[in-house]
Amino acid sequence: MELITTGSGEAGDSPYRIRFRVPAEAVVEFSPLLQAGFFVTARTGCSVKSLLCNQFGIDEEYVTRRITTMFLDCKPVDKMDSTLVRDGATLALSCAMPGLVGATMRRGGFYAAFREGISCSDDNSDIRAGIGSVKIKLFNLLIAELGPLFLGRGIIVPALSLGEFLNKSSREFRNSCTEVSLDGAPVDLWAMKEGEPFRGRETAKLTVQFDKPKEANKEDL
C-alpha cells in the first residue's frame, strides 16, 4: 500500500515543495528534522503495526526485531497489533536504548511490567478510521535506516524549521547537494538569506533523492 504524503497535517496552505539530491551518506545531516518530528498523511484508526508495515512499507520482521522501542503520544507501545493510531498522533520510533531505562522501555522486555501504568491501553473506543495525519519521530540508528524511506517519499515539516535547518547546515552538506529545487525551480543554497524563503507559508514538503555510493573500480582496489 502506498504511503499518502499530500497535505500538511497542520496547515491549510499549500506547502513549499523543496527537493534535494545528495549522496546516500548525507542522510545523517537530516537528523534534526527527523528527530524533531515530521508529518505524513495516512489512514488513521489502524493499528501501529498496520501503519508501519502496510502503509509505510516497512518489513514486518524489521519492525518486530529492530524497532524495539515505540512511543505513541508519549506512552510506550507493547501491543502493536491492537494499539490504534488516532488522527494527529505522534509516533516515536527507536531501536534498543542502553541502560536500565532502555531495558524498561523496550517493547515486551523483561522490565516492561514496571511501566504498566504508563503504557498504551487497549481502550480504542474513541478512535475512528479515516484519512488523517501522523507525526513521526526517528531516533538513533533508525535515522540512517528509515530516514531515506520517508525522505524519499516526502515529509511535511514546519517551513521555519526547514529554514533553520538549512541555515545551520554544514559547508560539507551544502557542497554535497548536486540538485536543489524550490517549487520546481532550481535554487542555490549558498544564495539563500537567513530566514528566507520560508516565511510565506506554514509548512514545507521535503523530498530527498539519495544517490547510491559508487562501486570502487577493481583497478583501485
pLDDT digits (tens, 9 = 90+) for 64-91: 999 988 999 988 888 899 889 999 999 9
pTM for this model (two decimals): 0.83
Q: Choose between 116 and 141: higher pLDDT.
A: 141
Q: How far lies 16's CA from each of 26, 56, 152, 187, 190, in Å?
A: 22, 23, 16, 13, 19
Listed in sequence order, the residues at least 6 apart from 145 whose beta carbon sits closer than 8 Å to its beta carbon are 66
Query: If you average pLDDT over every residue of the chain, what do you get?
Result: 83
215 pLDDT above the threshold of 90: no
Least confident of 20-29, 42-51, 86-95, 96-105: 96-105
100 pLDDT above the threshold of 50: no
Mean pLDDT of 140-166: 95
Residue type for 220, please? D
Model confidence at 149, in pLDDT bands (50, 70, 90)? Answer: very high
- Per DSSP bridges, beta strands 75-76 and 179-182 are unpaired
Mean pLDDT of 26-35: 97
What is the 8-class DSSP label of residue 24? Answer: G
Identify the bridge partners of residue 23 per DSSP, sorted by sequence position: 211
Q: Choose between 126 and 51: higher pLDDT.
A: 51
Mean pLDDT of 152-161: 95
Model confidence at 212, in pLDDT bands (50, 70, 90)? Answer: confident
- Write down the pLDDT at residue 9: 44
Q: Choose between 176 and 12: higher pLDDT.
A: 176
